[in-house]
Amino acid sequence: MIELAENRYGKSRVRLMKVTRHDHGQDLREWTVQVLLKGDFDTAHLLGDNSKILPTDTMKNTVYSIARTSKAAAMEDYAKELADFLLSRNPQVSSASIHVESTLWKRLTVDGKPHPSAFMRGSGELQTTSVERAHGGTFRVRSGLDNLVLLKTANSGFEGYIKDSLTTLPETKDRLFGTAVSAEWHYTASDVDFEGIRKTIRETMLRTFANHDSKSVQQTLYAMAESALEEVAAIDEIEITMPNKHCLLVDLSRFGQDNPNEIFVPTDEPHGYIEARVRRKP
Q: How many CB atoms lie within 10 A of CB 197?
A: 21
| Catalytic residue of the set 60, 99, 245, 246 | 246
Distance, CA of 270 to CA of 174 (rounded, Å)? 21
Distance, CA of 278 to CA of 220 (rounded, Å)? 13
Where does 153-244 have alpha helices with state H? 194-211, 217-231
| Catalytic residue of the set 56, 58, 153, 200 | 56
Distance, CA of 229 to CA of 279 (rounded, Å)? 8
What angle separates helix 75-89 from helix 56-69, to the nearest 10 degrees? 130
Residue 93 class from Cβ within 10 Å (0-12 exposed, 13-18 middle, 19+ buried)? buried
Distance, CA of 188 to CA of 262 (rounded, Å)? 46
Distance, CA of 81 to CA of 78 (rounded, Å)? 5
Residue 267: active-site member: no
| Catalytic residue of the set 11, 80, 99, 245 | 11
Q: Which of 273, 211, 278 is nearest to 246 (CA)?
A: 273
Residue 71 class from Cβ within 10 Å (0-12 exposed, 13-18 middle, 19+ buried)? exposed
Report whether 208 contacts 152 (CB < 8 A). no
Residue 80: active-site member: no
Residue 179: active-site member: no
Distance, CA of 256 to CA of 32 (rounded, Å)? 53
Known catalytic residues are 11, 56, 246
